[in-house]
Amino acid sequence: MPAVLVCLRHGDALAALLDNQQDFSVIALVDAAAFVPALIENRAALAVVDAGHPAAHSLILTAKTSAATRRIPIVLVSADAAARAQAIAAGAERALDRAELAAKLPTILRELARVPTPETLAKLDCACAQPLPPLAVAGVLAFNRGAYYQQHDLFEELWVASEGPIRDLYRAILQVGVAYYQLERGNFRGALKMLQRSVQWLYPLPDTCQDLDVAALRRDSYAVRAALQRLGADRLSEFDHSLLKPLRWQPPQT
């Protein structure tokens, strides 16, 4: 799966420049409302923002103050020095004019783009081939009986004690579980925020990891998030709680 670059464009030149990069898929947007959701949905490796877009600086600030997107590097493109300084102040990692971007783009992608290294992927594959640790088994059982607060404590303890990329599995599950807990408490904003956060950890995981069906967890949690976004806070009472599915776990046969 190629890494994703999200481009907020003002005109076509910037998107055309990014389209020439190998190993990256480019999503070019004009609609400001679609920018942050695109970063979340696609676990963007990098965002490039054209300062000519009227919402450029407000969207950088929004992305950099959200836990779901703040780790995604942002590059602003502008010929105006004041606009570049404003973007850096808002949290952008780089601010360049178009000529500089064209000259430095391969280096920027190599240095900034959040693309897992082969070593990281190998470590993740190795860890995913192991059975689920006892603490995680207890967390799965708690999650599946609807004890979402308890599952958080169990997976958080395991996340803190673990090393390497397998930690993302435990963090993803606990965040989805916290979202479900908030849903049952009627907290629309808290539930949506946690579901948005979880995407960045769920996205790169294999479809099966430590005998857990991660692909199903992605589908289920994305369906819950889509339902919340469709309903909005004012219609939360209409949410179908049957969408809160259990974790699918197939322990090895002894």
Nearby residues of 90 by Cβ (< 8 Å), 6 or more positions away: 57, 60, 61, 64
Contact 171, 149 (CB under 8 A): no
Which position has the token pair 């990891």? 209
Q: What is the pLDDT of residues 12-70, one digit of tens each?
A: 878 888 887 777 899 999 999 999 999 998 889 999 999 999 999 999 999 999 999 99
E runs forming strands in the chain: 3-8, 24-29, 46-50, 74-77, 94-96, 208-209, 212-213
Beta strands 24-29 and 208-209 are: unpaired
CATH of 3-112, one of 3.30.750.80, 1.10.260.40, 3.20.20.150, 3.40.50.2300: 3.40.50.2300
Residue 22 confidence (pLDDT): 75
Please give the Cα distance from 139 to 150 (Å, whole number).
Answer: 7
Residue 23 confidence (pLDDT): 79
The yes/no answer on whether domain 120-243 falls in CATH 2.40.70.10 is no
Residue 147 confidence (pLDDT): 97
- DSSP for 183-210, please give it: HHTT-HHHHHHHHHHHHHHHTTS-SEET
Residue 129 confidence (pLDDT): 95
Which of the residues in the chain have pLDDT under 50?
none
Contact 233, 188 (CB under 8 A): yes
Residue 254 confidence (pLDDT): 61
Q: Residue ranges per domain, the chain?
A: 3-112, 120-243
